Structure 1
Amino acid sequence: MTPRPARIATMNEVAAAAGVSQATVSLVLNKAGGSRVAEATRQRVLEAAEELGYRPNAAAKTLRKGAAGLIGFVGDVVASSPFAGRIVEGAQARAWDDGMLLLTVNTGGDERLEAAAIDALLAQRVAGIVYASMYHRRLTVPEALEGLPTVVLNSEDAAGRARAVVPDEFEGGRAATRALLEAGHRRIAMINIETLASGLPAAVGRHDGYRSALGDAGVAYDRRLVREGDGNPQGGFDHTLALMSAASPPTAIFCANDRTAWGAYQALETLGLEVPRDVSIVGFDNQETLAPFLRPGLTTLGLPFVEMGRRAVDLLLGGHAADEIPERIECPLIERGSVAAPRGGRVG
């Protein structure tokens, strides 16, 4: 055996010597549970590490031993968002419960920065990675994370392999619509945040929940009352004007996000109508810098950011996984002042 070098070898050097990826070296040396590294490959990595005199970072303990260590958190803009930043709070709190530290990287959606960030986290010998997105969509998990314990957060793995934690869009849409039905409305419009053809899980799920709740109440689904917006106030404004100009306008509108609802408020004010006296409104997202400050305050569905963050790390730490992938977290109804019975007590 050749003499060991005086300096400490890096994980990259071990990977090169063993002829494997850095991710594979991380899996072997961190003894990551559930990895699929062949025994021959594992032995080759261990021999290379011994040959080069590699010594693991003392801060990087393994999940199997349950000791203090590091978990990586890679997000596009979640760490800098005033809303979804709460995902990081939940993840960090859950990691700390087990004496783990969360290393957070905000990539801004830059693929080159993301690749560099993942390489850096692997070099830190993280025990697993939470791969997070600002909004609920289907995404491609980077190849560099293959084999490393990974949980996709606030999005879904397009390949359907990685565990994922997302808001329950379908039940949220049902809850929003039920709130209007229970107030006595029957002519309920919906302004979505995207087209259904886009396949965006938030748009499809919220729409399907709306349609399901109508069906449960015996109310016919009327495609003329459904508008496909873009999630912005201008879309909410324009679609509300169009809906209210119909021969038989709605008495209530489910807006699939709070920004759309803001535009709906403005349109109704332009028409000389009041919320909720003339038209009731329910939103979605519970944007804390917007929903409480509309007049009246907006009844809306909250995105369970803290709970999702905690659950993602819980899964990395060996928490019992649900039967379904992705795992859906309930969106609570936050009641304020934008819902009332149809004007005059009539059924809408």
Structure 2
Amino acid sequence: MTVTASITDVARATGVSASTVSRALRGRPGVSVEVRARIVEAAAALGYTASRSASSLASGRTFSIGVIVPYVGRWFFGTVVDAAEHVFSAAGYDVLLYNLGSPDARKRFFTKLPVRKRVDAVLSLLVPDDDEADALRSLGVPLAAIVGEPRPGFTVVGIDDRAGAQSAVRHLVNLGHRRIGMISGDSGPQHWTAPVRRRQAYLDVLSDAGLAHDPALEADGGYTVEGGERAMTELLAASRPPTAVFAQSDEMAMGALRALRLHRLRVPDDVSIIGFDNHELADVIGLTTIAQPVAAQGAQAAGLLVRQLEHARLAPPAHVQLPIRLELRDTTAPPNPRRPQ
């Protein structure tokens, strides 16, 4: 008959308490490097493996984090989730992923709250309305969000969307462009704030530069490559097409580039394009863009949640704003003097 080693056996073999063995094998703080190494070696020699269910029963914790995503298949959200999962996994937590891509799925989630008593914390990549925020706060667990305004009970990690969009449009103005279009998207059922802030920044820079706003130079690209292509085609059909376009995401900018290529127009000789995000393919295609630290936002939010779980007495920050920068590449240049402004 095979005898299974217990945590007490490991503690006895290493001369430490069972709680120290538990912390060491779960990667928790408070154990020196030397002691942790001795415990790991003894556990391996005795064939002991920490039981997740036993740890959960003893601590009242699930060692799981709920992650709420509006569109898990989109590059931005997938990149954030991947970075966050790496941090959670390294700290010993599993991820329960909830993809709320439709209004019905979102309503069901916030009505039933399936994460209750199943997770130790929640990371939200969607912008909750007031009722949804109240529902999440009712869980009584640490909460973090990647997008949206700072709000009580949440640690919000993000960027200054308005400043980023201003930098993009101002770059086009400084190059000498006077007919500047924009490919955007509406906030939709997910209540996104980025499209609203970026559009307002576009309008503000035009106004500051003394340029009249022409509604015909705005088109909805839906934050997808296909939508960006359709929107660029719509802008080209205007009576006076733009000589430069600010796309509110790199994916829409990529679609715009495809539309320009199909219309036999050269970038940036005929039309300049600037995006927003610094997508992993942006450098490959030479796209000028506003670079935001997408993965770092996920890692930062995850790290702050883990910190709250491991050090409950430390008050978390209400808002963490990460830096952005203008990444100059090949798709922007001064307007072609042979084309009308």
TM-score range, shorter chain: 0.5 to 0.7
Q: Per the alignment, in what secondary structure is the counterpart of residue 337 of structure 2?
A: helix
* Amino acid in the other structure paired with 1:338: T
Cα-Cα RMSD:
3.9
State which of 225, 238, 245 in structure 2 corresponds to 1:233. Answer: 225
| Equivalent residue for 2:147, pick from 144, 147, 155 | 155
The answer for the alignment partner of 2:293 in structure 1 is 304
Give the counterpart letter for 1:291 in structure 2. A
Which of 81, 94, 101 aligns to 1:103? It is 94
Q: Shift of the alpha carbon at 1:208?
A: 1.2
Hey, what does 2:317 align to over in structure 1? Answer: 321
Cα distance change, pair 277–138 in 1 and its aligned pair in 2 (3 A): farther
User: Which residues in structure 2 correspond to 1:1-348 (within 5 Å)?
Assistant: 57=56, 60=59, 70=63, 72-76=65-69, 83-88=76-81, 90-91=83-84, 100-109=91-100, 118-119=115-116, 121-122=118-119, 126=120, 129-133=121-125, 137-139=127-129, 140-141=132-133, 143=135, 145-146=137-138, 148-156=140-148, 161-194=153-186, 200-288=192-280, 290-294=281-285, 297-316=286-305, 317=307, 318=314, 321-322=317-318, 327-344=320-337, 348=341
Offset, 1:70: 4.6
1:288-327 deviations in Å (ceiling 9; x for gaps): 2x43344xx22222342233224324544346525xxx65
Q: TM-score, normalised by structure 2?
A: 0.64
8 Å contact 1:188–1:254 — kept in the other structure? yes
SS of the aligned residue for 1:221 comes to: coil
Question: What's the counterpart of residue 28 of structure 1?
Answer: none
Cα distance in 2 for residues equivalent to 1:166 and 1:108: 20
Deviation string for 1:156-185 (max 9, x for gaps)? 379765332233221221122122223222
* Larger proportion of helix: 2
**Partner SS state of residue 156, structure 1:** coil
Contact 1:141 1:157 in 2 (8 A): no
* Counterpart contact for 2:250–2:276, Cα < 8 Å: yes
Matches of 1:151 and 1:278 in 2, distance apart? 47
Report the CA distance between 1:340 and its aligned residue: 1.1
Q: How many residues align?
A: 273
Taking the aligned partners of 2:88 and 2:58, their CA distance within structure 1 comes to: 14
Task: Give the AA of the match of 2:80.
Answer: I
Structure 1 position 201, deviation (Å): 0.7
In 2: Cα distance, 1:78 partner to 1:132 partner: 12
Cα distance, 1:277 vs structure 2: 0.9
Aligned-partner Cα distance in 2 for 1:238–1:255: 12
CA 1:314–1:78 in structure 2 vs 1: closer, same or farther (change >3 Å)?
farther
The residue aligned with 2:29 is none
Letter matched to residue 147 of structure 2: S
1 CA distance for matches of 2:84 and 2:218?
Answer: 36
C-alpha displacement of 1:271: 2.4
Equivalent residues of 1:80, 1:106 under 8 A apart? no
What is the TM-score with the length of structure 1 in the denominator? 0.63
Q: Deviations over 1:106-143 (max 9, x none)?
A: 12325668967624534xxx3xx13222xx53442473
Are residues 259 and 131 of structure 1, via their aligned partners in 2, closer, same or farther at CA, if it must alter by over 3 Å?
A: same
Q: CA deviation at 1:189?
A: 0.7
Deviation at 1:212, TM superposition (A): 2.3
Deviations 1:61-92 (A, max 9, x none): 99xxxxxx956242337777654344345445
Q: Check whether the contact 2:184–2:223 (CA below 8 A) recurs between aligned residues.
A: yes
Deviation at 1:100, TM superposition (A): 3.8
Alignment deviations for residues 228-252 of structure 1 (CA, whole Å, 9 cap, x no partner): 3322334333332332233332110
* Distance across 1 between alignment mates of 2:227 and 2:176: 27
